[in-house]
Structures are given as C-alpha cells and as structure tokens.
Amino acid sequence: MALAPAGSNWTDAENDLLVADYFAMLGEELAGRPYVKSQHNAGIATATGRGKGSIEFKYRNVSAVLANLGLPIVKGYLPAFNAQFGALTEAIERYLSRTPAALEPELPTRSPVAGADPFVMRPAFDPSVRSHLGMRI
C-alpha cells in the first residue's frame, strides 16, 4: 500500500484495524502467551501505509483511552499525553460491541493431578516452635 500522507487523519477503517490489532496483543498478554509487537506493527503498516512511528504512537493513544476507561493496557505502550480520544474511543466502542469477550481471554487451564487431594491439611499448632521472629508463640 502507498504511504498515507504525513499528518493525515486516520480513517475509521484504519482506527478499527489498529484497535482490533491492539486487542489481539492485549489478549495474548493477558493470557500469558508470547507475541512480537514489531510483527503487529508491520501488519498495520502494510494494511494502512502508515509509518512505524505513527503506528507506535497510535498504539500509545489506544493505551491512553483504555487507561482513561480503567481497562488494562498492553505493556510497553505507555499512554500518550495528547491522545486522540474522540475517534479512538469510538473505534474501541465499536470493537467491544462486536467482541464483548475481548477483555476475557482464554486462559490456560490447569487440570488437577489424577488422585490428588485438592485440599491441604492445616498444620498442627505446636507452642514450643519458635516463630520466624525468634520469639515463643
């Protein structure tokens, strides 16, 4: 795609694409799965013709909007001070209305060990044992 003119406003379609990508990264992060931010940036650059720096700053704008809403943000994309709240807030609202489970990623499940007792017995109280501070209890 051709480069977008420098300083041009992002379209709703570009904002929607970037927000969806941001939530993809956030979902991976919340689920504890690895991902590569530079690959996400490159995908947005290819799709929009925007430069790396412009995309990075836009990700930070998304972080600012989410932080303002009290929602989690992608680590490493600190909220930008002069965020563009209007268009991005609308893009985030559109995304969350289409994808309400976006903030509830599938977390890895841990199945219990077969035959293991899920409960731990309370330790017996022994007054002759010294506490961690070296005093008698």
Q: Nearest 5 degrees, angle CA 54-CA 58-CA 61?
A: 145
Q: Which residues of 102-125 are buried (b: 16+ CB within 10 A; e: fewer)?
A: beebeeeeeeeeeeeeeeeeeeee
The average pLDDT across 80-107 equals: 83
- The model's pTM: 0.72
List the chain domain ranges. Answer: 12-103
State residue 81's pLDDT score: 79
State residue 120's pLDDT score: 61
